[in-house]
Amino acid sequence: MLSDEGRAVQTLTPSMVKRVFTCGLVVSAFGGSRPPLYRCPMTLADRERAGASLPRAGARSPFVRLAALLAEIAPGKAAINLALGEPQHPIPPFVGPVIAAHVAQFGRYPPGKGTDRFRGAAAGWLGRRFALPRPLDPQIEVAVLNGTREGLFLAALAAKGWVTPRAGRPVILLPNPFYAVYAAGAAAADCEPIYLDATRRTGFLPDLEGIDPALLSRTVAFYLASPSNPQGAVADRRYLGQAAALAQRFGFLLMSDECYSEIFYGGEPPAGALEVAGPDFANVVVFHSLSKRSNLPGLRVGFAAGDGRLMASYGELRNIAAPQVPGPAQEAAVAALADEAHVAANRRLYEAKFALADEILGGRYGYRHPAGGFFLWLDVKAQGGGEAAALALWREAGLRVLPGRYIAHDQMDGTNPGADFIRVAMVQDQETTAEALHRLVAVLG
Amino acid sequence: MLSDEGRAVQTLTPSMVKRVFTCGLVVSAFGGSRPPLYRCPMTLADRERAGASLPRAGARSPFVRLAALLAEIAPGKAAINLALGEPQHPIPPFVGPVIAAHVAQFGRYPPGKGTDRFRGAAAGWLGRRFALPRPLDPQIEVAVLNGTREGLFLAALAAKGWVTPRAGRPVILLPNPFYAVYAAGAAAADCEPIYLDATRRTGFLPDLEGIDPALLSRTVAFYLASPSNPQGAVADRRYLGQAAALAQRFGFLLMSDECYSEIFYGGEPPAGALEVAGPDFANVVVFHSLSKRSNLPGLRVGFAAGDGRLMASYGELRNIAAPQVPGPAQEAAVAALADEAHVAANRRLYEAKFALADEILGGRYGYRHPAGGFFLWLDVKAQGGGEAAALALWREAGLRVLPGRYIAHDQMDGTNPGADFIRVAMVQDQETTAEALHRLVAVLG
C-alpha cells in the first residue's frame, strides 16, 4: 500500500461515516442564515457510538479506490502516474554530507520538541519569510514534527484538551475537498467533523462568512490549508485575519496547514496565519514541512509554531506520545532552512510545468494557472465527471489521475464538491508532463 | 525539556486524574474476588468530562518533577546522571555507511507500513529470535514504527475501533509502575485506565489471576511489558500464554511491549508473546525497537507484529495519521537486524555493570540481579522512601536518580507501588557506574 503520499486525501466509507456522524449537521458555504439541514439531540447512546468511532477501519485510501477503479483495465499507452502528489525533483546536495557529519546523533534521543538549533532555525526562517508581528520564541512557540501529517493529527487531540468547554457537541471544521488526516484528527478527538465546501464559487476556500455562529461556539479547531490542496487557492491576509479573529472570538484553535507555502507562482509569496494573529499569535498554530519546499518528503521533518499556550499543551502530549525526529535529520533541516536557492530552483521547475499547462490546456476544463501548490484541479463534468474521465484517461492514454470525489466528502444533500473534477499532480519531469498534457487533451477534448 | 528518553514514565497530576477517572475502579492484584473499591454508573456528564480529558496538560514529566525536587540544591560531588534511561553505548559502525548509500531515499515518501525490505527483515528476525508457531507474513503482519512510543500510542486508538462493543465503559489495563505512553494511549482512546500493581509480591508483573472477569469483559487492550521497566522482570511462556488466552477469551488486544527483549542476563533469552498466541497470533501484537537492542535511540525505528486483523485496522489508521520512517533509516535497521554480534557485545557491557552492582550493592535495598532491562529498582523504604533517597543522593553524592513514585500511579487507597523505590539507569560507562554505586552505598548505607 502506498504511503499516502504525505498529502493524500481520503474519503470515508458508509460504515465509517455512520460511526463518525452521530449528529450530522451541514452548513452551507452560502447563506449563513440558512438553517442546518439536519440536527439531532445528542444522546448517551449516540455519544457512545461516537466514542467507538476512532479512526480505524472503513477508511479506504483514495489510491486503493483508484486501483480498484482501474483494475483489469490495461493502460492505452505507456503509463504515466499523475495521481500521487509526491515531489520528485532532486534532493538538495547538502543533505547527505550534513547527515554524515552528525551520524553519531543516531545514538542519542533527540529532544522531543526539537533541538535548540532546529527550533532556532525554524523560528528564524518564519521571521524572514513572513511579516510577523514579532520574532517567535523558539523555546516555547516552535516544535519539530515528523512531517506535518502526524503533527496535524495530534494537534486535534491537543486542541480538544486545550479549549474551554464548548457549547454542545465539539466540532472540528475542515475544508472539502480535504487532506485525510484532518478527518482522522477530528475522529480521534471525538469531534464532529464539519466539511466546508471549497468550490469555485467560494474561491476554492471555505466561505468564512457562511459559518453559523452556533457552530463556531461548538468548534474546537479549524483545519485550513493555504495554498489549498488540490485547488491551489491562496488565502490572502484579509481572509487569514478573518479566520484568526473567529478563532480568537470563539476560543477555538486555527490550525493553518501551510505546507505548500513555498510552491507559489507569480507575484508575492502567500501570506501566513501568524502574520495576522496579533502579538501573541493567539489561537493560531501554523504547520510547515520540508517535504514540498525542499523536495525532502522522505526526510520527515516539519514544524509547528504559534500560540505558546497551545504549544505547551501540545508539547506535553508530544513528550509522552509523539514520534521523535532524529538529530541528523534536524541538522539537515537546519541547512535546508538556511538556503533559499534550492527552493527558488524548485519553484522554477514547477513554474515551467504550469507554463506548459497554460499553453497546452488553455482555458479547457475550467483551468486557470493556480496561485500555489502543484496540482491541476480540472472540471471534467462535461466529460462525465471525475471517475469517467479518470477511466478514459487510463484506458485510452495510460494516464493515472485521481477522481476528485475520492478526496472529498459527500454532503448530506448528496453533493460532493470533488465529483466533477480530476486531480493531476505536476510532479513528473517537464518532458513527461508535456507528453501527459497532450495525451489528456487528446482524450478529453 | 528532555525527550522523555523513549521509555520515560510519567505520573499524572490530580487535575489530569480528575479528568481521566470519571469512574474509578481499582482491582487488587491479590484476591480476585475482592469487590472493586469504588464503582459509579456512567452518566452523560461523566462521559463528557471523560471526553474532555484527552491527554493534554496536567501531565508532568517525571524528569520535570525530578528537576523541581532537586532545584536549588547543589550536587555534593561531580554530578552523574542515572535518571535517564538513554542507552549510551556506541552505535553500530555500519549505520553511517548504510545511510549514506541510501541518501537519495530522503527524496521519496517511504511506504507507510515500511519498505518490503524492512518488513521482511523484521519478520525474519522475529522468526530467528522467537519460537514462533509459524513464520510471520511480512505483507500483513508487520509494520514499521518511529520507535515503539508512537506505535504503542496509536495502537490504543486502533484497538478501540477494532474490538467488538465492550460490556460497559471501555478499559485499558496497564502495569503500575508503567511507561507514560500507556496512560496517554488509554486517555486518547477514551478508555478508563486500570493500573495493575506490579510489586515484589506479584513477581514485578501484574497478577493476571487477580483481575475481575467483569473488568476483562470491558477491556479493550492490555499493555504488558516484559522485560518490565523499571523492575527488569521477565514474563515466562506460561505467563504470556495466560495473558494471550485472556485476550482471546475476552476479545481484547494484548499489546506486548518487548523493547527490552534483547537486554537480558544469564540463561535463556526472554520469551515473546507471539510464541504463545497460536497460529494466527490472535489478539496479540508485539512491539520491538532498535533503540535498546542496537543502541540506536536516535534512529527512531521500531516495529509492530502480530494479529493480521488488528494490523489491518492499525494500518488504515497509520496510513492516514501516523509518522513515517525515512527509507535510509529503514535500511540501517535492516542491517542491524541481520547482525547479532553488536547485540551480544552490547549485552556484555550491561552484564559487566550488573556484575558491579552484584558486588557493590550485595543484597542491600532488596537488590537482585534483574532478569532483563538496564535499571536498578531499589527499595529505599528504610532510607525514607524514593524522594528522600533521591534528595540525599544528589545533595551528598551528586547522583541523579529517579524516585519511583514519579513513574507509578497512586491507587485509590493512597498506595503507590513506586513510593519506596528509586530507579537507577545503568547506562553510563563501567567506571562511572562503579563510582556511582560506591557513592550510593556510602550515602544510603
Q: What is the ipTM of this complex?
A: 0.87
Residues of A whose CB is below 8 A from B179: none
Q: Express each pLDDT in A233-280 by its tens digit.
A: 999 999 999 999 999 999 999 999 999 999 999 879 999 999 999 999
In chain A, the percentage of residues whose pLDDT exceeds 90 is: 83
Identify the sign of the CA torsion A375, A379, A383, A386: positive
| Domain end point (choices B337, B365, B391) | B337
| Domain end point (choices A289, A307, A337) | A337
Position B224 in a domain: yes
Same domain, A261 and A356: no
Position B3 in a domain: no
Same domain, B404 and B307: no
Same domain, A280 and A302: yes
Which pLDDT value is given to residue B62? Answer: 86
Q: Which CATH number characterizes residue B202's domain?
A: 3.40.640.10
Q: Across the interface, do A100 and B105 touch by the CB < 8 Å criterion?
A: no
Q: What is the Cα–Cα distance from A278 to A190, expressed in whole angstroms? A: 30
Which pLDDT value is given to residue B59? Answer: 59
Residues of B whose CB is below 8 A from A327: 298
| Number of domains into which chain B is organized | 2
CB-closest option in B106, B180, B189 to A91: B106
Query: What Å distances lie between residue B38 and B19, B27, B43, CA to CA?
Result: 16, 9, 15
Position B423 in a domain: yes
- Are A135 and A128 within 8 A, CB to CB? no
Q: Across the interface, do A323 and B146 touch by the CB < 8 Å criterion?
A: yes
Which pLDDT value is given to residue A28? Answer: 29
Q: What is the Cα–Cα distance from B33 to B224, expressed in whole angstroms? A: 22
A6, pLDDT greater than 90: no
Minimal C-alpha gap between A201 and chain B (Å): 29
Same domain, A110 and A257: yes
AA letter at B109: Y
A44, pLDDT greater than 50: no
Query: Helices A147-162 and B308-321 meet at what angle, rounded to 10?
Result: 90
Same domain, B268 and B172: yes
Same domain, B198 and B114: yes
| Domain end point (choices A282, A309, A337) | A337
Q: Specify the pairing of strand B171-176 against strand B192-197.
A: parallel
What are the residues whose beta carbons fall under 8 Å from the beta carbon of A146, sequence distance 6 or more? A300, A301, A302, A322, A323, A324, A325, B146, B323, B324
- Other Cβ atoms less than 10 A from the Cβ of B134: the count is 11
Mutate to test the interface with B, among A53, A109, A289 (most CBs of B within 10 A): A109
Position A242 in a domain: yes
Which is more confidently placed, A51 or B202?
B202
Which pLDDT value is given to residue A85? Answer: 87
Q: What is the Cα–Cα distance from B362 to B352, expressed in whole angstroms? A: 15
Same domain, A126 and A266: yes
Which pLDDT value is given to residue A59? Answer: 58
Position B54 in a domain: no
C-alpha dihedral, B84 to B86 to B88 to B91, nearest 10°: -170
Question: How many A×B Cβ pairs under 8 Å?
Answer: 270
Which pLDDT value is given to residue A337? Answer: 98
Same domain, B140 and B23: yes
Confidence of residue A2 (pLDDT cuts 50, 70, 90): very low
A9, pLDDT greater than 50: no
AA letter at B397: A
Mean residue pLDDT of chain A comes to 88
Which pLDDT value is given to residue A61? Answer: 77
CB-closest option in B43, B90, B312 to A107: B90
Residues of A whose CB is below 8 A from B54: 157-158, 160-161, 189-190, 317
B193: domain range?
11-37+107-337
Position A42 in a domain: no
The residue of chain B with its CA nearest to that of A183 is B320
Position B49 in a domain: no
Regions in chain B scoring below 50 on pLDDT: 1-58
Same domain, B15 and B140: yes
Q: Specify the pairing of strand A219-225 against strand A253-257.
A: parallel
Same domain, B323 and B361: no
Which pLDDT value is given to residue B88? Answer: 85
Q: Which three cell numbers stand for residue B383?
A: 532510607
Same domain, A348 and A304: no
Owner of C-alpha cell 552505535:
B91
Tell me the sheet residues that pair with B194.
B173
Q: What is the Cα–Cα distance from B194 to B183, expressed in whole angstroms? A: 9
Same domain, A422 and A300: no
- Are A180 and A4 within 8 A, CB to CB? yes
Which is more confidently placed, A46 or A134?
A134
Minimal C-alpha gap between A238 and chain B (Å): 31
CB-closest option in A58, A103, A185 to B95: A103
Q: Which CATH number characterizes residue B424's domain?
A: 3.90.1150.10
Residues of B whose CB is below 8 A from A312: 57
Q: Express each pLDDT in A319-350 by its tens digit.
A: 999 999 999 999 999 999 999 999 999 999 99
Minimal C-alpha gap between A100 and chain B (Å): 6
Identify the sign of the CA torsion A142, A148, A154, A160: positive
